[in-house]
């Protein structure tokens, strides 16, 4: 697995990917902070245990909550932050 990650990193560097593209690849599956807003005010905040997915309609996101262990599905304007 380590060789695969190194190979992907070398290929990405050689192909001229931006730092944002590299961060996106290496952040897959990592914990993330999800903060949702309505009318400019924060209405929800939680942390995922891993990958966050967009729902089929593109109107929301869903993930497993690190705090509760339950599936969370939001339909709001959310910001997802992950360590790169």
Q: Tens digits of per-residue pLDDT, 22-72? A: 545 554 567 899 999 999 999 999 999 988 888 888 888 999 999 999 999
Residue 18 has pLDDT above 80, yes or no: no
Q: Give, as one character, the DSSP assignment of residue 30.
A: S
The set of residues, in sequence order, having a beta carbon less than 8 Å from that of 84 and lying 6+ positions away, is 22, 23, 26, 27
The residue among 25, 18, 23, 48 whose CA lies nearest residue 78 is: 48
**83 and 48 fall within a common domain:** yes
pLDDT at position 27: 47
What domain range includes position 1?
1-28
pLDDT at position 55: 85
**40 and 79 fall within a common domain:** yes
**2 and 43 fall within a common domain:** no
pTM here? 0.64
Residue 4 has pLDDT above 70, yes or no: no
């Amino acid at each position: 697995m380590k060789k695969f990650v190194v190979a992907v990193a070398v290929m990405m560097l050689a192909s001229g990917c931006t730092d944002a593209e590299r961060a996106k690849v290496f952040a897959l599956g990592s914990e993330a902070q999800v903060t949702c807003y309505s009318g400019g005010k924060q209405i929800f905040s939680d942390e995922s245990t891993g990958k966050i997915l967009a729902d089929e309609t593109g109107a929301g996101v869903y993930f497993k909550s690190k705090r509760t262990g339950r599936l969370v599905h939001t339909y709001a304007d959310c910001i997802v932050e992950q360590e790169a």
